[in-house]
Amino acid sequence: MDRNLALNLARVTEAAALGAAKYMGRGDKNEADQAAVDGMRRMFDTLNVDGVVVIGEGEMDEAPMLYIGERIGKASEGSPKLDIAVDPLDGTNAVAKGLPNAISVVATAPRGCLLNAPDMYMDKIAVGPRAKGVVNLDAPVKENLINVAKALNKSISDLTVTMLERERHEGIIRECRELGVRIKLFKDGDVGAAIATCFEDRGVDILLGIGGAPEGVIAAAALKCLGGEFQGKLVPYTEEEAERCKKMGVDTDKVLLLDDLVKGNEVLFAATGISDGDLLKGVRYFGDYTARTHSVVMRSETGTIRFIEAIHRLDKKPDYAK
């Protein structure tokens, strides 16, 4: 895999972030999402890849761009054939309201390597490298928490669990409180939260709970690069969703391990902050038509993690300056 492609993916998420960030706090999540999609699509068109979107904005009839099955990149002979997973704006509500943790993300792997997760819910567990191998999504919550605390050499009261603030998590929250761990709830953006478990200074040790399945595959791609562990289980809420899982050949009783979600070791991942978050700083606008972005780029093959702060001259990039 061309290692410079990883850096080009940062250009893709930067373009999406610069597009969406202008809409922060304006109350219109669709407008922000569209700007992220436009920025991302435009930059993808400049890359020498033969890509197929396997996780994207929706089915062809509901998404004009970055829809599942769409071919992207300017493919030529010898271009890498890739599966592409995108979430141009994870945290549409966060941008619309000016709240934290909105990011733009993209992950790629060779064709056929990313699980084509349908747009439904997924039960998730994510931990960083030091707790790899000690969690099991099928085990009771308390058992996982005790095992992670042990692996991190922390007392249980110092362990921090993070999850989406949703009513469906009341049961897990109760169990966490009975055990006495710390809890950090967030409103949107479980991709960034899963990644944060891999950085000790980000203040969260384990992600639990149910979020979007597409976001689960994207988070798994990142955790593969970071050497963490991610497990997921599709949670169909309707007959139709259950049928869809069956057709895909996914057993909803089975825990999907990292290699079921993201096969092989040629994974590339990039993310750029849109609003300030635990993982990345948001887009900042300075005088003289400049803006700063903060991104992370990773490759699973070498495990290199790059944080990139970029200063953009918006007057020289008319597409961003609108």
Binding site for ligand VTB (CB under 6 A): 90-91, 164, 166, 188-190, 211-212, 215
Q: H or E stretch including 270? A: strand 268-273
**Which of 70, 190 has the CB closer to ligand VTB?**
190
Query: Looking at beta carbons, which residue is closest to ligand VTB?
Result: 211
Q: Minimum CB separation from ligand VTB for residue 227, in Å?
A: 22
Q: Minimum CB separation from ligand VTB for residue 2, in Å?
A: 30
Q: Minimum CB separation from ligand VTB for residue 42, in Å?
A: 22
Beta strands at 121-127 and 160-164: parallel, antiparallel or unpaired: unpaired
Q: H or E stretch including 196? A: helix 190-196
**Which of 91, 128 has the CB closer to ligand VTB?**
91
Q: Minimum CB separation from ligand VTB for residue 62, in Å?
A: 15
Q: Minimum CB separation from ligand VTB for residue 108, in Å?
A: 20
**Which of 80, 88 has the CB closer to ligand VTB?**
88
Please say whether the beta carbons of 5 and 49 come within 8 A.
yes
Closest by Cα among 128, 127, 137, 182 to 155: 182
**Which of 22, 29 has the CB closer to ligand VTB?**
29
**Which of 280, 291 has the CB closer to ligand VTB?**
280
Closest by Cα among 212, 201, 210, 194 to 258: 194
Rounded Cα–Cα distance for residues 115 and 230 (Å): 14
Q: Can you name the residues that pair with 122 across neighbouring β-strands?
A: 211, 234
Please say whether the beta carbons of 54 and 85 come within 8 A.
yes
Please say whether the beta carbons of 191 and 92 come within 8 A.
no
Closest by Cα among 283, 261, 262 to 271: 283
**Which of 111, 169 has the CB closer to ligand VTB?**
169
Cβ within 8 Å of residue 174, ≥6 positions away = none
Q: Minimum CB separation from ligand VTB for residue 24, in Å?
A: 16
**Which of 165, 315 has the CB closer to ligand VTB?**
165
The tokens of 285 are what? Answer: 């606008």
Closest by Cα among 269, 226, 292, 224 to 8: 269
Beta strands at 268-273 and 290-299: parallel, antiparallel or unpaired: antiparallel
Q: Minimum CB separation from ligand VTB for residue 266, in Å?
A: 25
Q: Minimum CB separation from ligand VTB for residue 183, in Å?
A: 17
Q: Minimum CB separation from ligand VTB for residue 212, in Å?
A: 3
**Which of 73, 214 has the CB closer to ligand VTB?**
214
Rounded Cα–Cα distance for residues 26 and 243 (Å): 39
Rounded Cα–Cα distance for residues 42 and 213 (Å): 26
Rounded Cα–Cα distance for residues 320 and 312 (Å): 9
DSSP 256: B
**Which of 57, 215 has the CB closer to ligand VTB?**
215
